[in-house]
Every structure is written in structure tokens, then in C-alpha cells.
Structure 1
Amino acid sequence: MITPAEPGHGQTDPRQPAIMSERRQLINVAYRLLSSLADAEDVVQETYTRWYAMSRAEQEAIESPGAWLTTVAGRICLDLLGSARARRERYVGEWIPEPLPDRAEWVSDRTGGSAADPADRVTLDESVDMAFLVMLESMTPAERVAFILHDVFRYAFTEVAPVLGRTPAACRQLAYSARRRIRVAQAPATATAQNAGVVRNFKLAWEAKDVEALIGLLAPDATATADGGGLVSAVLHPVEGSEQIARYAVDLAGRAPGLALLERTVNGRPGLVAQLDGVTVMVVAFDIAGDRIKRIWAVRNPEKLRPWTAL
């Protein structure tokens, strides 16, 4: 845990409340950079550890502690992003960003207690949409950092430059390159209410094991990707095509007769949660264009379902 007092002095830091108030911002930045809440929490912990490892004099010499914390967290994320490709090569099956529940559900467990510190909650907006996070994976680490810090969190390029160790002009070019990638890949947004209707119809067709209805809800070139991380069974490669996905879904339902499907918000968008005996075993996110599902992401890796386990 983070120690609020300055190491070796036993005195409370008068700037402690201001320092700790940056925690939620750091969690939000780190999650968008890494697409993993667990990694984001580790980054923030390490960032505060470095702050409290400094002497009081060193801390007081820092004009803007918030900017210092963001810079350090950003650099740690940059290092992790640089090594992510090697880690992904060792990952069993497909890797999907860690899904997040709606904030109202995040903080309540079955006993009415708190499942997470409200200060640590990630703000759910279009920048944590699953399709958006997947698009970020196509960027270089430097592009991703420049884009997230500038375009999402509105840091000036002069503030982004120390994180990347580059000039503001170079950071501007990185963000432009990232923006161009998104414009090429991003489909027109569909209204949340319309998305919810499509997801509800998919749930009903899945429960009814209605192959034809499922096919009608899927784009002909739809893809479905599962992430088990080698810890639970999951298809290792994306399933492509509406008929193939529909038949796979029906087969899955047949092999898990007790599976309960619940409509939930997943990363700010309508999605589904699958439970067995009241335990969340899968979280499903959708990318919808018009009235058809283009992409499905099913997260089964239990290590990525921590925020959902108390739901």
C-alpha cells in the first residue's frame, strides 16, 4: 500500500490530499494506455512509490506534483507498451482489453458493500469503448501515448514531450499519425439505445438457440474473438462469418445449459455478462453498425474479470 507519510520522517505530508487526489486521473490515463485495469493499478502504485521515495526537499522542489506524477506514470506505461508485443506473443490465444462494468455496478457487491474504491473508478466514455481500445492496439507505443494524453486528456504537447522524451513538434506528429489510423478504422457510431436493442435481440436468439435469428443480427463478415488466456477453454482464433458465429454460439449454449445471460454495460456500451451458478464466467462486448453486429469480443480469462466477480 502507498505510505502517506514521508519515509524516514514520520511526519504527514501537508500536500498529501492534493497528491492522492491525482490517483483517479492516473488510473484513467493508465487504463487507456494499457487496456488493463490490473496493469494500470500497478503503474499507479509504482508512481506513488517513486514519489514517496524522494526526500521532502526533493518533493517540495517539484512545482507541479500532478504533472510529475502523470509524467512518471506515462513513462512507466510507455515501457510496458514497448514490451507488450513480446508478452502478447507468449499469450495463449487472442488478447482482448480488460472489460469494465458500469460504475454503478462496479462499487456494489452482493452484500451492499464496496467492491472498489470510488476514487479508482475509470470514467466510462467513448475512449474506453472496446472497439476503440482494440484500435489503439494498432498504434506504436509512442503514438498511443501522444494520442491519449493530448486528444483524450487534453495535455499540451509541451506536457507530453517529457513523457516521450521527444520535442513537442515530434509529439504533435505522433498524435496526427494516431488520429489518421483511427479515421481509417473507425465506423460511424450507432446510438446506444439502438445498440441495446440489437444486443437484447442477440441475447434472446442465443438463449433460444435460434441460428437463423442470430445470423440475421450479424453482419455477413462479422468476427467473434474470445480471450481465455490459457486459463479457461476458449477458441484460439477468431470465428469469421455470420453463420459460423451463430452456430458456434448455439453450440456453446448447448454445452453450458445453466448459462445465464444478463444485459450489462461493458466499457460504456450495451453488452452481455454470462454467469454460471451466479459466478461471472464471461463478459461480451459488441461493435455494432446500424442494426448488425460487426464484431464480438468475449472475455473469459478470469484474471480480467476481477471487477465483475462481485456482480
Structure 2
Amino acid sequence: MRPLHHAPTFGDSIPGGGRVLTPDPYEEYRKAFAAFSVKEADLRAGKALQRIGWLILLGSLTLTGILGYTVIVGLWKANDGVTRWLSLIIVNILWIACACWLYRHHKSLAEKTNKFRDALQQRQTAAAQLPLETTPGLRVYREASLDVIAAYRTQASRNRRVHNSFQLVIITGSIVVSTLTAMNEGSNAALSIITSSLSALVGISAGVTGYFKFRERGTTSQSTADDIEKNYNASGFQLGDYKEMEETTRLVLYAETVEAIKEEQRKREIQLEQSTSRDERSAQ
């Protein structure tokens, strides 16, 4: 009876006396997990940008309706509304450009979604190849948490940059609008157009900042990354709660703690979403 053949793995002999070197399943899982984390963060950023684009589009359409009404009223009163006409043209250009950007971004977001799903499938496939051993798997989990820390910090940095950019627009725009309003007594049409445009930009920026709460999201992400890093270092040097523990017990405690921290982060994100919904309902 002929012996059954099986796929060679690490350490199997092959003809010629050599050994087969197959990829380490733990390293493959770590790479797949890192790629998945990057794609997930990229998809979240794309969705956030899409929501900002929709908010700007709706705000521009609202301004178009208001300015259109003022133009009609001005025509009825036989008033030369050059400023209103130019403002209406500028706002129309803004929402048309925003609509075109959303159309292009929709395709990009679909590609990011497909890449995210592929990364998720690769991570699941790599996880299925892991041996059913507790300690090596927990070691992989501990090292993979470094990628989680990096992903949270990247998310926090992105939210801080967006928040600071909008705050810069709000502060600078408010000062410039106040200065131009004091300088212009209504005779200069160009200054009136610039003042109206800057006022609209400041209002939209304030609305976006208040709705999406970028500062709060950045703070929670940074806090989560710091907590995970603190436990990572403590488990490695056997400090605090990890003092005088066996390796397996220490790794199990680390995994439980990190999962609790990540669950707390998800709850805080849900609370931010709920507070945004409550603010939106109260504004109505």
C-alpha cells in the first residue's frame, strides 16, 4: 500500500537532504492584521470625508436658496443686486464642485471598501492557519497590538489635524470678516462679496466641527492608544498587575485588558454618535 502524501511544512525532509522553509503562520497573521488595520483606518477616514462633503453640499444648497430668494426680491424691487448675483454664482460654483468631488470620492470609497473586505478575508485566512496553541497565539496577539496602537494614534493625529484646520479657518475668518465689515460701508461690492463668502465659510466650518467632534474623537483615540501601550510595556517588564506571573497567565491577562480597553473605545465612539444625533434633533 502506497503511503499518503502531504504538503511539506517547516522541518520536513525533501529529496536531497534539505528542509522546507514555509512562512511562519504567526508572522503571516501579524502582517495580515497590520494590513487589515491600515485598510480599516483608511475606510473610516474616507467615510468621514464623505460625510463632510455631504454637509458642505447641503449647506451650499441652503445658501443658494437663500441668496436666490434675495436676488428675486431684489429684482422685484428693481434694485441692482450685483453683489447678490455674484454671491449666488460663487455659492453655485461651490456646491457644483462639491457634488463633483462627492461623485469621484464615491468611486474611491468603493475601492477602499473592496480593499478592506479583501484585507479582512486575508486576516481570517491567516487566523485559520494558526496552530491551536494558547501561548504562541497570545504572543502573536501581544505583538499585533503594536499595530493597533499605531492605528489609533494615526486616527488621533488625523482628527487633531482636521480639528485644528477648521479652528484656524473659524478664528481667522471671523477676524477677517469683522475687519472687512468695519472697513466697508456698503459701497464696495467686491468687499461685500468677500465678506459674505467668508461668513459662509466660517459658518460651515463651525457646523462641521460641532457635528463631527473631531477633537473629542482624537482625544479618545489617543487615550486608547496610550492605555494599550501602557499595558504592553507592563506585561513585557512584569510591572503592576503583571508582576510575578507566568508567561501564559500574563498574556491572558494582557489580552483581556486590551479587549476591555477596545470595548470601552467603541462605547465612547457610540456615545459621540448618539450625542451628535441628540444635538441634531434638538436643533430641529
- Pick the structure with more strand per residue: 1
Band the TM-score falls in, shorter-chain normalisation: under 0.3
Give me the TM-score of the superposition, normalised by structure 2.
Answer: 0.26
- Pick the structure with more helix per residue: 2
